[in-house]
């Protein structure tokens, strides 16, 4: 059963108020600035409302019927001063409040950024980077708009309307106040009705804009793949399909905005005309002076401008709330992996790792691991081999606690990894992944990422240990060479060596090599293999490998198939068993012999 439009509208309004309330702590942080800004606001509006009153006195004093002999200098100077104050205090208010707005934008953006990093790998595999980045961009922009316009446009506008209505009611015919209030009520009702209708269009525009941006960024990130298959026109067509739908929504948005503005102008024009007719009649009757007529006219113009702006501000605030909706929605994304309330710091010294009857699946219908049970004693090396899809890389993801297993547990030094902090767990583990993705920065930065506080000498030593120092020194910019988006300026082997250097620099208690030499040729693999054994010495090491030549010296080898361990033992023991491992070994030897012939 679908929810009614009224219930969904009520839910949207409740979400808007929650969004507004969530910004209040940022205002409270600089409460003295807020108080000063609001005080300047009140003074500015009092000065603005006083301008027509002084103008009336000037006109009446210059009226020929009063036989004025001198120019009312004091009134004219007062008029100019009030004009200055109405603007000056407004500018001072903006200057005082600027820090509040910018700090709120910074704090919320940082909070969203940190929260995104705290979410599980599952969320990040499902998300679209372009859409998320656009949501954050629009949301932070909306915060500045909301804070400024809520406090400094809606509030002062309502204050000014109240002051004008009180003056008209106390000094003139009650009908002046009645006409003003009726115009105001009709204007607000019309604005609210049309704006709520337009919000549906605005949300649709935001969704389509995010989708189009996601499509563009995804295509650009996969530039080489697009070129490999000559699919430039296909990508352009898919992007344009999203933009075409966005165009339809944007046109509807523009035409509905024109309708809203025209309707607002029509209502204001009728109200002002009625007031001027009433004022002119009063002047003819002699109950009002010429100055009173000008006073009413200036008040109406003064009232018209903020009232017309109030409609714009309300529309934009609703738009800002819609823009912020998705960004704050990111903050409400559930943390699938979170530290336990009593989580302890992992003590990884002489780390012993144990997988106890671990069962895991990415979904109810996609079971990956079945009753996986093995130990890696402190300082030992265990290798896991098997066909693609056997579940080998899933072991490293579980050890890093990117996911939580559904059955069994993983222990490090007898501590369940779910009972320790994620930060201490990941600080104890270093990895050289199969697919190394680098930051679009320098080689130095990417190696230093393993331990950002490391000295330059330590970083260069790690590069030498990974046999990449000579290559880096041969580049024109050396360690300051940029690696490009996702490291695309480097070859697969060069990226792998950077990853190895980064792991060496981290100096962890537990090491994971996930197909660490898969991108290297045979000569480079042999050159670096001894170094990998060297850094693995005295460390608890898990090697996930496809090439069996890289695991022959492991203390124990596990053979996996379809998520289960089907064989285990040393290289020699497994060959003597003459099972799956022996078949894989013989097959790879034959392939190597064939390659050497060619």
In this predicted model, what pLDDT tens digit does every residue of 108-162 receive, in sequence order?
777 777 777 766 666 665 555 556 666 777 777 777 777 777 666 677 777 777 7
Report the C-alpha gap between 502 and 437 in whole angstroms: 12
When pLDDT is cut at 50, 70 and 90, the band that residue 483 belongs to is confident
Q: Quick check: 70 pLDDT over 70?
A: no
What is the structure's pLDDT at 93?
A: 77
Q: Which fold has domain 346-428+512-523+540-573?
A: Rossmann fold (3.40.50)
Residue 558 has pLDDT above 90, yes or no: yes
Question: Which one has a higher pLDDT value, 329 or 282?
Answer: 282
Q: Can you say whether the dihedral through the CA atoms of 343, 344, 349, 355 is positive or negative?
A: negative
**Per-domain residue ranges of the chain:** 14-331, 346-428+512-523+540-573, 435-507
End-to-end alpha carbon distance in the chain: 67
Q: Are 314 and 136 in contact (CB under 8 A)?
A: no
State residue 557's pLDDT score: 93
pLDDT at 14: 61
Domain at 14-331, CATH from 1.10.150.120, 3.40.190.10, 1.20.1560.10, 1.10.10.10: 1.20.1560.10
The closest alpha carbon to 448, from 470, 472, 425, 424, belongs to 472
Cα distance between residue 468 and residue 528, in whole Å: 10
Q: What is the mean pLDDT of residues 389-404?
A: 86
- Asked whether the beta carbons of 557 and 549 are under 8 A apart, the reply is no
Q: Given this model, what pLDDT does residue 1 score?
A: 42
Q: What would the mean pLDDT of 46-58 be, rounded to a whole number?
A: 78
pTM of the model: 0.62
Domains 346-428+512-523+540-573 and 435-507 share a fold: yes
Cβ contact 259:266 at 8 Å: no
CATH architecture of 435-507: 3-Layer(aba) Sandwich (3.40)
- Selection from 483, 478, 493, 553 nearest residue 523 by Cα: 493
The neighbouring-strand residues paired with 545 are 385
pLDDT tens for each residue of 276-313: 888 888 888 878 777 887 777 777 777 767 666 666 67
């Amino acid at each position: 059963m679908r929810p009614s439009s009224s219930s969904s509208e009520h839910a949207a309004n409740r979400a808007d108020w929650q969004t507004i309330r969530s910004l209040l702590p940022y205002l409270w942080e600089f409460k003295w600035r807020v108080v000063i800004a609001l005080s300047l606001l009140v003074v500015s509006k009092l000065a603005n409302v006083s301008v027509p009153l002084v103008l009336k006195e000037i006109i009446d004093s210059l009226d020929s019927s009063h036989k004025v002999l001198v120019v009312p200098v004091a009134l004219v100077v007062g008029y100019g001063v009030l004009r200055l104050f109405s603007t000056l205090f407004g500018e001072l208010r903006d200057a005082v409040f600027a820090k509040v707005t910018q700090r709120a934008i910074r704090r919320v953006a940082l909070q969203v950024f940190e929260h995104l990093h705290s979410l599980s790998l599952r969320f990040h595999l499902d998300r679209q980077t372009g859409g998320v980045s656009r949501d954050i961009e629009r949301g932070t922009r909306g915060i500045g708009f909301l804070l400024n316009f809520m406090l400094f446009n809606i509030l002062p506008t309502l204050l000014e309307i109240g002051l004008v209505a009180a003056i008209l009611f106390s000094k003139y015919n009650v009908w002046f106040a009645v006409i003003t209030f009726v115009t105001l009520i009709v204007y607000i009702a019309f604005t609210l009705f049309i704006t709520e209708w337009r919000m549906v269009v605005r949300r649709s525009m935001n969704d389509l804009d995010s989708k189009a941006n996601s499509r563009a960024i995804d295509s650009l990130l996969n530039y080489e793949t697009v070129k490999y298959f000559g699919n430039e026109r296909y990508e352009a067509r898919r992007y344009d399909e999203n933009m075409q739908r966005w165009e339809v929504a944007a046109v509807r948005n523009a035409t509905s905005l024109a309708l809203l503005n025209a309707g607002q102008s029509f209502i204001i024009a009728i109200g002002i005309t009625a007031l001027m007719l009433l004022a002119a009649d009063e002047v003819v009757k002699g109950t009002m002076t010429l100055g009173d007529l000008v006073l009413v006219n200036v008040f109406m113009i003064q009232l018209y401008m903020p009232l017309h702006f109030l409609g714009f501000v309300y529309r934009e605030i609703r738009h800002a709330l819609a823009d912020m909706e998705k960004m704050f929605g990111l903050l409400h994304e559930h943390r699938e992996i979170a530290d336990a309330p009593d989580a302890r710091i992992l003590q990884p010294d002489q780390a012993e790792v144990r997988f106890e009857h671990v069962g895991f699946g990415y979904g109810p219908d996609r079971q990956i691991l079945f009753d996986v049970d093995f130990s890696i004693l402190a300082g030992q090396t265990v290798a896991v081999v098997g066909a693609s899809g056997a579940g080998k890389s899933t072991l490293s993801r579980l050890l890093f606690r990117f996911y939580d297993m559904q059955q069994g547990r993983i222990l490090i030094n007898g501590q369940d990894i779910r009972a320790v902090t994620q930060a201490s767990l990941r600080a104890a583990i270093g990895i050289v992944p199969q697919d190394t993705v680098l930051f679009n920065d320098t080689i130095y930065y990417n190696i230093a990422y393993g331990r950002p506080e490391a000295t330059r000498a330590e970083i260069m030593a790690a590069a030498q240990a990974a046999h990449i120092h000579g290559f880096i020194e041969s580049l024109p910019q050396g360690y300051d060479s940029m690696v490009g988006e996702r490291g695309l300026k480097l070859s697969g082997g060069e990226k792998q060596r950077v990853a190895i250097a980064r792991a060496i620099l981290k100096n962890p208690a537990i090491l994971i090599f996930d197909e660490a030499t898969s991108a290297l040729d045979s000569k480079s693999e042999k050159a670096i293999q001894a170094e990998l054994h060297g850094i693995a010495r005295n460390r608890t090491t898990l090697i996930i490998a496809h090439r069996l030549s890289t695991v022959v010296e492991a203390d124990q080898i596990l053979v996996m198939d379809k998520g289960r361990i089907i064989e285990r033992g040393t290289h020699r023991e497994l060959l003597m068993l003459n099972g799956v491992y022996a078949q894989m070994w013989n097959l790879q030897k034959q392939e190597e012999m064939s390659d050497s012939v060619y």
